[in-house]
Amino acid sequence: MSRDTLSRPAPAARQRPRRASRTEARNARAAACFVLPFFALFGLCFLAPIGYAVHQSLRRTERTGPLGLGGQEHDVFAGLANYAHALADDRFLTGFGRVLLFGAVQIPLMIVLATALALLLESASARGVTFFRSAFFLPYGVPGVIASILWGFLYVPGISPLVKIADVAGWDVDFLARGTVLWSIANIVTWQFTGYTMLVLIAQLKSVPEELYEAARIDGANAWQVARHVKLPLIRPALVLTTVFSIIGTLQLFAEPMVLRPLASSIDSGFTPNLHAYSEAFVGNNQHVAAAEAVLLALVACVLSFGFLRLVGRRGEDRG
């Protein structure tokens, strides 16, 4: 509010109505020039694809030649047939179930690990904070594909020193077996993003005035009590934010299973919803179903993210 009144030129007080409206018009013109380049491209790369995907998902290709071969191809309205097709596809649904299970396990694990590391680094008992912080954050600089190649080598018997060590110890581990490969992927994702999450939490911890911690300590709280009752409640917003980003990230799971696929026969083309949509589009050559699946994926991501935000929002209100 005060910003609006401030931005008016001082002499405007004398003839407020005309000057104000002229300022407004000038504001709108200038704002348009600054905002338009971004929004033109935002429209092209965000709004138009969504619109186009919805449009495509509602159509199907019909061939007019005999037996459906040759002749002319043209798109006709298909209603919700593509959605029905996607939702009737067991492998697509299994893939969804798989990433939901993945998220339900990996996200809490990663958040707990990142919180623990952030609290340890920010505690008074920590030495070598800069080194450890850099070490934990380092994997974030490794692209998902490279991380998957890297861990892929660490999983494959023959190359992997981990498997060799386990062998010597008498354990028979198979990181790429049907039941374990999902958790091997969870390990890659955790390895990559724990440091990033930790840094978000540290950023929030740092924004809290030191006096607050000191006051708690003077009141006789030990390190654990300060962490539990002062620090944890204060980093709640950062925890919520990183959880939402993790939910979105989990649903997009693609690069890791895609890269591990040649190594693990247990990963099929419908391992994750994203992989399924990709193979519908480029292997099955079925753009319309792929479009429907992309729309469904975006919808589920939005519902889960907003659902989570509302859930924690409401709980926050109850607490006061």
Partner 1 sequence: MTRLPPRACRPRPSVPVRTTRPPVRGRTTRPPVRYRIITASLLTIAALYFLVPVYWLTVSATKNSADLFGTFGFWFSDDPRPVGHLVDVLTYDHGVYVRWFGNSLLYAGIGAVCATLLSAAAGYALAKFPFRGREAVFNVVLAGVLIPGTALALPLYFLFSAMGLANTYWAVLIPSVVSPFGVYLCRIYAAAAVPDSLLEAARIDGAGEARIFGGLGLRLMTPALVTVFLFQFVHIWNNYFLPLVMLSDSSLYPIQLGLTSWTGYADRQPVLYQFTVGGAFLSVVPLMVLMTGLQRYWRTGLTEGSVKA
**What is the smallest separation between the CB atom of 67 and partner 1, expressed in angstroms?**
27
**What is the smallest separation between the CB atom of 124 and partner 1, expressed in angstroms?**
5
Residues 85/289, Cβ–Cβ less than 8 Å: yes
Give the dihedral of Cα atoms 59, 64, 65, 67; nearest 10 deg. Answer: 60
Nearest CB to partner 1, comparing residues 128 and 170: 128
Helix intervals (H) in 207-286: 210-218, 223-226, 232-234, 236-251, 255-260, 273-282
Nearest CB to partner 1, comparing residues 87 and 120: 120
Place of tokens 């002499």: 11
Nearest CB to partner 1, comparing residues 60 and 133: 133
**What is the smallest separation between the CB atom of 39 and partner 1, expressed in angstroms?**
7
**What is the smallest separation between the CB atom of 219 and partner 1, expressed in angstroms?**
12
**What is the smallest separation between the CB atom of 77 and partner 1, expressed in angstroms?**
17
Residues 78 and 140: their CA atoms lie apart, in Å, by 43
DSSP codes joined into one string, 267-315 = --TTSSHHHHHHHHHHTS--HHHHHHHHHHHHHHHHHHHHHHHHHHHHH
Nearest CB to partner 1, comparing residues 182 and 251: 251
Residues 277/293, Cβ–Cβ less than 8 Å: yes
Nearest CB to partner 1, comparing residues 122 and 182: 122
Residues 158/102, Cβ–Cβ less than 8 Å: no
Q: Which residues pair with 62 in a beta bridge?
A: 74
**What is the smallest separation between the CB atom of 109 and partner 1, expressed in angstroms?**
13
Nearest CB to partner 1, comparing residues 69 and 206: 206
